[in-house]
């Protein structure tokens, strides 16, 4: 079991490095004709430099993560922190939570340096980072506090269910996860986003008028359109749609409103309305419910088998370590499932683009995509294999081609 685990870790690492290297090498490929005006020569050179630096850092971080994990597995780190956790309390549930807490704290400390360098060196030099040291620290503190406040009680509840329910654990854990997922979907913008960002209603003016006119034409009831102060952290542009039913909300980054014209912003909003009209959030929720059921069934097997824990120095099954090992050994399955799920996601993006082109016009949506590509330093020449395996959105050139060709869009 030990050799299989190490083999899986190394295989996933080599696959990720290979995909990253393919994408990196493809950066010098000729840019598609329909997006050559997205960057001028100086901006494109800047993008190449940014890509090179980001690639190097991601490779160093990935190598470090993999090496540290293998060392931890082979040299008894996990039994050691299990011993520390058991010295704190005799309660098996609290021991497991303490085990996770120690492991996550060590992982956080080992990874924070890479995040700091990415944010305050690479992102800073290329004009993306707008976050101050104070904002960065507050974000880290808020994230950690949320993890403790939400993750601690949830973990304790799940452990109680597992230890007390037997085979019924899978069903009730699935119901719990689906309920939490539903709550998060409904409250994501209303509650969780507001913990980190300020949301303000879109003010009166040309853009609001265009959006209201677009809503009338599409028959979409706009309950809430908010502008988020994303510029306090980054210069990147984005917009997103969350929730369903009466909890539907659309959020525009203030950077998006600033960089795009009213027509282009309306086109992006039409794209988000397209997701709503096609019930993409609900579809994603249903897909995740099937995934969750599959993973819970496999997890139940991992946590009930002592062979996995004993092969790495434990005397018997250890629930906390079984959970970590489960995450490692399920990575290949996640990669395999990710291929069709990414394809489904790209198809949804094409549909939303088509809806935008039909309701807001082809030219505004095309122009908006080019601005988004430029401002976000999008890769204009991704490797086809990387796209097929990992891209949730189609490459910009493919999206623009689909918008320009109605027949192509209809067959996607």
349 is in an annotated binding site: yes
By three-state DSSP, how is residue 201 classified?
A: strand
Tokens for 271, please give them. Answer: 């794209």
By three-state DSSP, how is residue 289 classified?
A: helix
CA distances in angstroms from 217 to 178, 203, 220, listed in the order given: 35, 21, 8
Q: How far apart are CA 20 and CA 12, in angstroms?
A: 12
Minimal CA–CA distance to 390: which of 336, 312, 349?
A: 336
Distance of CA 336 to the CA centre of its chain: 17
To the query of whether residue 229 is one of the catalytic residues in this protein, the response is: no
**Per residue in 84-112, is it b (16+ CB within 10 Å) or e — as a string?**
ebbeeeeeebbbbbbbbbbbeeeeeeeee
Phi/psi of residue 249, nearest 5 degrees = -145, 145
Minimal CA–CA distance to 214: which of 165, 257, 267?
A: 267
Minimal CA–CA distance to 225: which of 283, 276, 281?
A: 276
- The residue behind tokens 């097997």 is 301
Any idea how long the chain is? 412
Which one of the listed residues 264, 272, 375, 401 is annotated catalytic?
Answer: 272
Minimal CA–CA distance to 320: which of 343, 303, 344, 308?
A: 303
Which one of the listed residues 353, 375, 398, 401 is annotated catalytic?
Answer: 353
Q: What is the DSSP string of 350-407?
A: HHHHHHHHHHH-HHHHHHHHHHHHHHTT--SS--HHHHHHH-SS--HHHHHHHHH-HH
278 is in an annotated binding site: no
- Region for 243 from its dihedrals, namely left if φ exceeds 0, alpha if ψ lies in -120 to 50, beta otherwise: left
Q: How far apart are CA 269 and CA 250, in angstroms?
A: 8
To the query of whether residue 272 is one of the catalytic residues in this protein, the response is: yes
Minimal CA–CA distance to 271: which of 141, 390, 365?
A: 365
Provide CB contacts within 8 A for 170, sequence distance 6+: 293, 296, 297, 300
**Cα 276–191–269 angle (5° rounding)?**
30
Catalytic residues: 272, 353
Which residue ranges are tagged as binding site for Zn(2+)? 271, 275, 349
């Amino acid at each position: 079991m030990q050799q299989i685990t190490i083999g899986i870790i190394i295989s996933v690492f080599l696959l990720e490095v290979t995909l990253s290297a393919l994408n990196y090498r493809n950066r010098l490929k000729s840019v598609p004709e329909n997006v050559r005006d997205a960057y001028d020569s100086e901006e494109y050179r800047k993008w190449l430099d940014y890509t090179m630096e980001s690639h190097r850092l991601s490779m160093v971080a990935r190598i470090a993560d993999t090496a540290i994990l293998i060392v931890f597995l082979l040299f008894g780190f996990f039994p050691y922190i299990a011993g520390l956790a058991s010295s704190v309390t005799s309660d098996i549930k609290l021991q497991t939570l303490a085990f996770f807490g120690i492991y996550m704290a060590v992982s956080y400390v080992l990874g924070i340096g890479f995040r700091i360098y990415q944010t305050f060196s690479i992102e800073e030099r290329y004009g993306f980072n707008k976050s101050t040291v104070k904002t960065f620290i507050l974000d880290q503190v808020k994230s950690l506090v949320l993890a403790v406040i939400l993750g601690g009680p949830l973990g304790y509840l799940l452990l109680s269910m597992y230890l007390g329910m037997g085979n019924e654990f899978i069903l009730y854990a699935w119901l719990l996860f689906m309920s939490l997922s539903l709550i998060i979907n409904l409250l994501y913008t209303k509650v969780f986003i507001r913990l980190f960002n300020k949301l303000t209603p879109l003010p009166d003016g040309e853009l609001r008028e265009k959006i209201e006119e677009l809503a009338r034409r599409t028959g979409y009831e706009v309950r809430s359109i908010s502008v988020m102060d994303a510029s306090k952290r980054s210069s990147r542009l984005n917009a997103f749609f969350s929730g369903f039913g009466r909890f539907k909300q659309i959020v525009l980054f203030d950077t998006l409103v600033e960089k795009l014209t009213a027509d282009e912003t309306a086109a992006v909003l039409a794209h988000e309305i397209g997701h709503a009209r096609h019930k993409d959030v609900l579809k994603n929720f249903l897909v995740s419910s099937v995934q969750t059921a599959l993973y819970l069934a496999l997890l139940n097997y991992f946590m009930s088998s002592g062979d996995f824990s004993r092969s790495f120095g434990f005397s018997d099954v250890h629930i906390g370590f079984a959970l970590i090992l489960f995450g490692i050994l399920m990575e290949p399955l996640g990669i395999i499932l990710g291929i069709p799920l990414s394809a489904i996601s790209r198809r949804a993006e094409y549909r939303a683009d088509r809806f935008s082109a039909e309701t807001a016009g082809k030219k505004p949506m095309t122009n908006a995509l080019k601005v988004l590509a430029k401002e976000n330093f999008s890769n204009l020449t991704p490797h086809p294999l990387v796209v097929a395996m990992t891209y949730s959105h189609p490459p910009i050139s493919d999206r623009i081609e689909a918008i320009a060709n109605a027949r192509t869009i209809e067959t996607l």
